[in-house]
């Protein structure tokens, strides 16, 4: 199949997701592991399945070709967030090495499925390297931004640079704050979501000044998430095409700011699948192909 990502805002043609029923498996499985995985609260299996049906339905209505990762006994609840396990490049998949040890089997499980789709493996992060997909953002087709924090380390970034040297001209490293510490799920995409080539939603209070200034210098207008909506993941938004996006419901101020910029906003109720596991719509998805 066709694949290749060098954009965060081009129209999504095909996408990789994992349904809540295949990640959570059962209420018993949830009850056994949610606390160890640092979920904020215990998800309800039936409600999660219903929420996920609605979430996937938004992409289906938008004409996105959806590929569902199957259930895998080697993975757990967090496998519902496939963005972190793999990076899709124009030359194949790059398997990540998870900063959260409980997720260590996810990249291999994703790789098995991608091979069934005939998507080649460009390489993988190994050894002491750590890299999670939530820390990567394409600013343009030759510029890749990587957050360095508790989930992605210097060695992981070094290996990523080697793997992408043939098609990435500029790899920009952004130091991430301590915030809630190493057990938190803080990624680069916790503080920025591109919406169009010249528009991004950001939470500037946690953004390094040089990175914020870089965005402004590139002519990117910044929509500022209010403090009251940061914890409800208003900054975690999936662009399904330029100025059309999916976001968590319950963030009316950020939604209004986006609509003021001419953005079409689709919403889903993600109490079970997003809020409790701290994984918004970008985390729930790994686009396989975007077109400009």
pLDDT tens, position by position, 257-275:
999 999 999 999 999 999 9
What 114-119 contacts at long range (C-beta under 8 Å, 24+ apart), as own/partner pairs, is 114/16, 114/86, 117/1, 117/3, 117/67, 117/288, 118/1, 119/1, 119/3, 119/88, 119/92, 119/93, 119/288
Domain CATH code at residue 46: 3.75.10.10
Is 179's pLDDT higher than 90?
no
175: pLDDT strictly greater than 80:
yes
Domain extent at residue 81: 13-291
Residue 55: the pLDDT is 98
Q: Is the per-residue pLDDT at 195 higher than 90?
A: yes
pLDDT digits (tens, 9 = 90+) for 20-53: 999 999 999 999 999 999 999 999 999 999 999 9
**Per-residue pLDDT band at 79 (split at 50, 70, 90):** very high
Whether residue 186 lies inside any domain: the answer is: yes
* Residue 1: per-residue pLDDT: 82
- 258 is a domain residue: yes
Read off the pLDDT band of 5 (50, 70, 90): confident
**Rounded Cα gap, residues 145 and 237, in angstroms:** 17
- Name residues whose C-beta falls within 8 Å of residue 69's C-beta, 6 or more positions apart in sequence: 16, 17, 18, 22, 79, 82, 109, 110, 113
Q: What is the pLDDT of residue 183?
A: 79
204 domain-assigned: yes
7 within a domain of the structure (yes/no): no
Domain count, the chain: 1
Residue 3 lies in a domain: no
Residue 5 lies in a domain: no
pLDDT value at position 10?
97
Q: Is the model's pLDDT at 54 over the cut of 90?
A: yes
Check if the beta carbon of residue 110 is closer than 8 Å to that of residue 86: yes
List the beta bridge partners of residue 95.
Answer: 86, 124
Evaluate whether residue 2 is within a structural domain.
no
Query: Does some domain include residue 227?
Result: yes
Report the range of poorest mean pLDDT among 57-61, 179-183, 240-244, 251-255. Answer: 179-183
Once rounded to an integer, what is the mean pLDDT over residues 164-187? 92
Q: What is the token pair recorded at 28? A: 């018993």
pLDDT category, 182, cuts 50, 70, 90? Answer: confident
The pLDDT of 230-239, averaged and rounded, is 97
How large is the average pLDDT for residues 218-239? 97
pLDDT at residue number 185: 81
208: pLDDT strictly greater than 90: yes
Of residues 113, 21, 3, the one with CA closest to residue 65 = 3
Q: Listing from the earlier edge strand, what are the strands of the sheet with 121-124?
A: 86-89, 92-95, 121-124
Q: Helix, strand, coil proportions of the chain in percent (round to 5)?
A: 35, 25, 40
DSSP 166-204: TT-SEEEEEEPP-TT-TTS---GGGSEEEEETTEEEE-G
Query: Can you tell me the mean pLDDT for 160-186?
Result: 93
């Amino acid at each position: 199949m066709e694949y290749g990502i060098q954009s965060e805002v081009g129209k999504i043609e095909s996408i990789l997701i994992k349904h809540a029923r295949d990640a959570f498996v059962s209420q018993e499985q949830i009850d056994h592991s949610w606390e160890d995985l640092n979920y904020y609260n215990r998800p309800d299996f039936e409600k999660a399945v219903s929420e996920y049906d609605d979430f996937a339905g938004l992409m289906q209505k938008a004409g996105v070709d959806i590929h569902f990762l199957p259930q895998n006994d080697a993975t757990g609840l967090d496998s519902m967030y496939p963005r972190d396990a793999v990076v899709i490049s124009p030359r194949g998949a790059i398997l990540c090495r998870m900063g959260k040890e409980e997720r260590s089997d996810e990249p291999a499980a994703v790789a098995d499925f991608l091979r069934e789709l005939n998507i080649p493996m460009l390489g993988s992060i190994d050894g002491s390297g750590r890299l999670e997909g939530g820390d990567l953002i394409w600013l343009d087709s030759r510029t890749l931004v990587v957050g360095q924090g508790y989930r992605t380390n210097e060695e992981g970034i070094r290996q990523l640079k080697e793997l992408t040297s043939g098609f990435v001209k500029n790899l920009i490293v952004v130091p991430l704050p301590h915030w809630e510490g190493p057990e938190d799920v803080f990624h680069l995409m916790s503080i920025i979501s591109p919406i169009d080539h010249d528009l991004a939603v950001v939470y500037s209070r946690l953004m390094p000044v040089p990175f914020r200034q870089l965005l402004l210098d590139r002519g990117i207008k910044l929509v500022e998430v209010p403090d009251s909506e940061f914890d409800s993941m208003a900054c975690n938004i999936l662009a399904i095409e330029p100025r059309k996006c999916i976001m968590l419901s319950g963030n009316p101020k950020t939604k209004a700011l986006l609509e003021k910029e001419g953005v079409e906003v689709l919403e889903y109720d993600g109490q079970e699948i997003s809020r409790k596991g701290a994984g918004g719509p970008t985390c729930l998805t790994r686009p396989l192909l975007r077109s400009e």
